Amino acid sequence: MGTDEDTAAGAPRRPEPGARDDRRPALEERFAALEAVGHNSADVIVVLNHGGFVVYANPVAQRTFGVTAEEGVGLNAVALLSPEDRERIAPRFLELFTSPGGTIRETVQAYTPAGERRDLEIVATNSFDNPAIRGIVINGQDVTRRNLDQRELASLAERFRVAFAENMAAMTFTDLEDRIIDVNDAMCEMVGYSREELLGHDSKPFTLDEDVGITEATHHEAISTSRSRIRYVKRYRRKDGRVIVVEVSRAMALDPDGQPQYFVFSERDITEERKLTAELSSRALHDPLTGLANRTLFEDRLVHAHQRAQRSGTLAAVLLIDLDDFKGVNDTYGHVIGDELLVAIAARLRRVARETDTLCRFGGDEFLVLVEEMAQLKDARAVAERILAEMATPFNLRGTTFVQRASIGVATLDPSVDDASTLVQRADIALYEAKRQGRGRAVVFTPSMHQEAVSRFTLAQDLSRALERDELSMAFQPIVDLANGEVVGYESLMRWRHPERGAVPPDVFIPLAEQSNLIYDLGAFALRAAAEAMTRLPRTDGYPPYVTVNLSARQFHDRDLPRVVARALGDHDVAPHRLLLEITESVALEDITESLEIISELANLGVGIALDDFGTGFSSLSYLVQLRPRAIKIDQSFVRPATPSPQSDAILELILLLGRKLGVMMIAEGIETPAQYNRLRGVNCRYGQGFLWSPAVRLDEVGDLIARLGESPPIDHSRRRRGRMSERHVAD
């Protein structure tokens, strides 16, 4: 393809390194004109001979391929191409070599001798007929950087496409008028509209009417303040009508001069998240069983009610409701029924309460009601009375009917109250008073009640130290055989002589002890004192008397009771049949199953049970047979009725007949006059006690009491029967 001058026995060979190129002056002369152009050109200029070897390369070409002028001459141009381009372009170059004046245009990938890639856009021209050149002139531009930039842009574009079009987050582009110019599929799916339905519109068509203006306000803010990012929450109405809550992030895109170009919105449906948050918040502020407010929410509402009262003089009240004897429901029917009853009570409270009132389950079987916007303070009592009336209707759960009463303490809140937290405390004090008055009622707090509460607290503190200070003692009231006037036993009664207050009545300090574990210490003390007394009490007709000890509900149901009893008797070597433990009917039937177990354990020790206040409770004959008491104490209301009548005598006689049929020792309480004694003897009552013979006396006074009764008995037993209650009455 070349001349003898070009080929020199084939293709020109590249000079050996360090060798002198004798042809260089000829080449410089030959390409002098081209050198003048190529030296100042920004393009790559290369001339190839017929063999495809470089015979000329301008400075740009030298820099592009990293060679000097000498190193460039003799390079095989085709060999520098990538394998793909070499295969593709070689045929075209062969054709070009035989086409004088012909031209080809190509974009090729070449590699420098050092192996670096170069992208070139070239124009190759056959200039063999030009005597000044006589070769293929390649004029090209190095587009390596441009192509790299384009590839990076393409990569960025693809990443952006994936980030936008394929993003699971809803995204929108809007123009400077906030009209939608593009949306992704996630946005269309979120609002239920197609892309075509959204383009060219703002967000009003799918915004809930009440929230129109939110997006518009952020657009105005973004334009006027150039804030780059704004977040907000709004509600959309989907095409199907469903309302969703969306968290929106608006970002502003700027041009190189910092001027707004368009907006990018990223949106997230937070409807379920908000529901979950609301649910968790509700759980955190509401009782899980009843759904009523819990203490945290109630206290917050109470603080706000107090603030309103101070600002505007409004009136409010706190009602503390406690269910009477609710423990019996759980113990008898189980906690499942107990929980259902609490839910039913909550429903009734909702029925009575107004929308402005706050209902709270305070804990266990206690409820709180915050009554606001009252016209006058006495309205609080009216609300309490409505609640009591609602509670009076029996509950029916799983076929079982319950009559569940409640007691209510009321404390009023007015602008004069400094601290809202004292309201619950005052309501609690009023509740205590309601229970003290007999339960099933509502009592409004008064300042005097607070003083009484402080006094009770102080007294309770003193009581906790009374045992250590030997301020407690036992007194003994005789139980008499009505047939002959002889003392057959004693009821032991606890006494407390306070160093400053003097004698404190049992009905004052025993309830205080029952509010703490101190009641167990008092019970153990009473048992020890009774056992010791049995070793010192005088015998009558040679028979040792028995002693009764009163037990509260907590003492009787204490599983440790049999052990405490056995220890007290054992320490004083007292026969167990001489001890009777007195409990009321209501205590025995509070949990009949547990009561029978305890009574059985006591019976195994030889200790009997006496049912106190018989006839005032709610026992049935079937339970009476199961309990098998050794003695029954007839309540004084039957002994000295307010209005004596044949009917009251008949009831008393029936009670005594029942005792005789069951083989139970019957003891009449509260006998104070000879007439009452004669009435009891008339219906064949055998045993009794009361002030007619003596109040309770100290142990060291019992001897004088027996002597006094022997010398001057209150009743003349002229037809006195010899004999007396034998030990079998307390031993059987």
The tens digit of pLDDT for each residue in 61-99 reads 999 999 998 888 999 888 899 999 888 888 888 888 888
pLDDT (average), residues 718-732: 44
- Three-class SS of 619-669: CCHHHHHHHCCCEEEECHHHHCCCCCCHHHHHHHHHHHHHHHHHCCEEEEC
Q: What was the pLDDT predicted at 398?
A: 87
> Is the model more confident about 2 or about 386?
386
Name the least confident of 240-254, 267-281, 480-494: 267-281
Q: What was the pLDDT predicted at 28?
A: 55
Q: What was the pLDDT predicted at 3?
A: 38
pLDDT exceeds cutoff 80 at 1: no
pLDDT exceeds cutoff 80 at 34: no
Q: What was the pLDDT predicted at 725?
A: 41
Highest mean pLDDT among 163-167, 312-316, 381-385: 381-385
Q: E strands along 203-357, which residues?
A: 229-237, 243-254, 260-269, 315-323
pLDDT (average), residues 215-226: 89
Mean confidence (pLDDT) of the chain: 85
What's the distance, Cα to Cα, between the start and end of the chain in Å? 144
pLDDT exceeds cutoff 80 at 12: no
CB 50 within 8 A of CB 96: no
Q: Which helix (H) or strand (E) holds 489?
A: strand 487-498
Angle 223-225-230 from CA coordinates, rounded to 5°: 80
390-404 pLDDT per residue, tens: 998 999 988 888 888
Cα–Cα distance between 150 and 1 in angstroms, integer? 39
Residue 405's CB is within 10 A of a number of other CB atoms, namely 14
pLDDT exceeds cutoff 70 at 9: no
pLDDT (average), residues 167-194: 91
Name the least confident of 76-90, 462-476, 535-549, 613-627: 613-627
pLDDT (average), residues 48-56: 89
pLDDT exceeds cutoff 80 at 408: yes
- Three-class SS of 565-615: HHHHHHHHCCCHHHEEEEEEHHHHCCCHHHHHHHHHHHHHHCCEEEEEEEC
Tell which residue, 629, 719, 616, has the closest CA to residue 666.
629
Cα–Cα distance between 412 and 423 in angstroms, integer? 7
Q: What was the pLDDT predicted at 612?
A: 87
Q: Which domains are seen in the chain, by residue range?
A: 4-148 (3.30.450.20), 165-275 (3.30.450.20), 286-445 (3.30.70.270), 473-731 (3.20.20.450)
Tell me if residue 22 falls in helix, strand or coil. coil
Q: What was the pLDDT predicted at 727?
A: 42
pLDDT tier, 8 (very low <50, low <70, confident <90, very high otherwise): very low
Q: What was the pLDDT predicted at 18?
A: 42
Instruction: Calculate helix-pair angle for 518-534, 506-514, nearest 10 degrees.
Output: 130
Q: What was the pLDDT predicted at 410?
A: 94
Q: What was the pLDDT predicted at 640?
A: 86
The CA–CA distances, whole Å, from 56 to 3, 34, 49, 107, 455 equal 17, 9, 9, 21, 118
Cα–Cα distance between 304 and 425 in angstroms, integer? 18
Q: Which helix (H) or strand (E) holds 676?
A: helix 674-682
pLDDT exceeds cutoff 80 at 576: yes
Would you give the DSSP letter of residue 229? E
623-676 pLDDT per residue, tens: 777 788 999 998 888 888 877 778 888 888 888 988 888 899 999 999 999 999
Q: What was the pLDDT predicted at 622?
A: 65
Cα–Cα distance between 694 and 642 in angstroms, integer? 22
pLDDT exceeds cutoff 60 at 692: yes
CB 317 within 8 A of CB 374: yes
pLDDT (average), residues 493-504: 92
In percent, the amount of the chain with pLDDT more than 70 equals 89
pLDDT (average), residues 30-54: 76
Going by C-beta distance under 8 Å and a sequence separation of 6 or more, which residues neighbour residue 611? 582, 583, 584, 585, 588, 619, 624, 627, 629, 631, 632, 633
Highest mean pLDDT among 17-31, 318-332, 496-510: 496-510
